[in-house]
Amino acid sequence: MRPVETLPAAGALWDITTPVRPGRIGGVDMAGFRARSAGPLDLEVVPYPAVTVAVDLGDAPLAVGGADGGPQETGSVVVGLAPHGLRGRGRDIECLQIRLSPVVAHAVLGPAADLGTAIVRLDDLWGRDADRIQERLRAAASWADRFAIAEAALARRHRDGPAVDPEVAFVWRRLVTHRGGVRIEGLASEAGWSRKRLWSRFRNQIGLTPKHAARLVRFDHAAHRLAAGHRPALVAAEAGYADQSHLHREVLAFAGATPTAVAAAPWLTVDDDAWAAPGYLTSA
């Protein structure tokens, strides 16, 4: 287990703990979060090219939902790829967050088309097993024990779950390797499938079309470059957008905010510390 890092974000000090070494399954990242704040927290969450499992370990329930005040889910939740306007709200937050490459998520959580960009309760996907795992995580003596418990549960489900088609995994790797800047029309022929078959199978198993997935991966790269202090014009050029206006439209579409606002998003300030080796970059 890496030493705890304490970093400020969203009006709180966050104790962040991560495993000391990669786990048994490629495409999986885990981090433990504990907030120290004087009152309730309202966290803006920037979309990310991974399926996220947030296991609530705090005394007060964590609520996750849209920024528009719509329906919320409380407790342990699974967040699909690229939800719009996502926020987390709670007091004395403590949670284990797991980021899964969508290639891995297909086996661990089930077909992504059933999840899409939605937010669902973990027990809706795992049933009573979700309650048992959460109880064990709460009772664990350390974050190292929590990581081991979660990894064992994921490994079991990954072994027994349905694998994505090799062609789908290949296309996802191509999108990630090129940070979304790949010619979408050529992916089907590279995979040896027709365009119609690739779009159907990719959408069913990953949760987005190849084009939407490429946009999400490119947005993620751009968001982190903005958060690192790079000018929007430079980020637009480096990330392969047609111009700065194109970057503005895409950031607004995914994050519901301008590039300037995303650059200052509190949660991105801890992102590189919590996720030093992004799991969506690899797959099992």
pLDDT tens digits along 34-67: 887 767 777 777 888 999 999 999 887 788 876 6
- In 3D space, the residue among 88, 60, 93 whose CA is nearest the CA of residue 72 turns out to be 88
- Give CA–CA dist 172/217, Å, rounded: 10
Residue with tokens 């290949």: 170
Which range is least confidently modeled, 67-71, 89-93, 257-261?
67-71
Q: The domain 166-266 belongs to what CATH superfamily?
A: Homeodomain-like (1.10.10.60)
| pLDDT, position 281 | 56
Over the stretch 154-203, which tens digit does the pLDDT of each residue have?
A: 999 999 999 999 999 999 999 999 999 988 888 999 999 999 999 999 99
What token pair was written down for 87? 């926020």
Q: In 10 A of CB 135, how many CB atoms?
A: 10
Q: How far apart are CA 158 and CA 60, in angstroms?
A: 31
Domain ranges of the chain: 5-162, 166-266
pLDDT digits (tens, 9 = 90+) for 245-256: 999 999 999 988
Q: What is the spatial distance between Cα 1 and Cα 161, in angstroms, rounded to a whole number? A: 28
- pLDDT tens digits along 3-30: 455 555 556 678 889 998 878 888 999 9
Rg (the chain; Cα; Å): 18
Q: Which residues contact 113 (CB under 8 A, 6 or more apart)?
A: 203, 204, 205, 207
Q: Distance between CA atoms of 22 and 56, rounded to whole angstroms?
A: 23
Give the mean model confidence (pLDDT) for residues 263-281: 70
**Summary mean pLDDT of the chain:** 85
Joined together, the tokens standing for residue 261 give 């606002």
Whole-model pTM: value is 0.88
- Angle at 13 (CA atoms; ends 12, 15), nearest 5 degrees: 135
Buried b (16+ CB within 10 A) or exposed e, 45-78: bbbbbbbbbbbbbbeeebbbbeeeeeebbebbbb
| Position 239 confidence tier, pLDDT thresholds 50, 70, 90 | very high
Q: Which CATH number describes the domain made up of 5-162?
A: 2.60.120.10
Question: Do the domains at 5-162 and 166-266 have one common CATH topology?
Answer: no
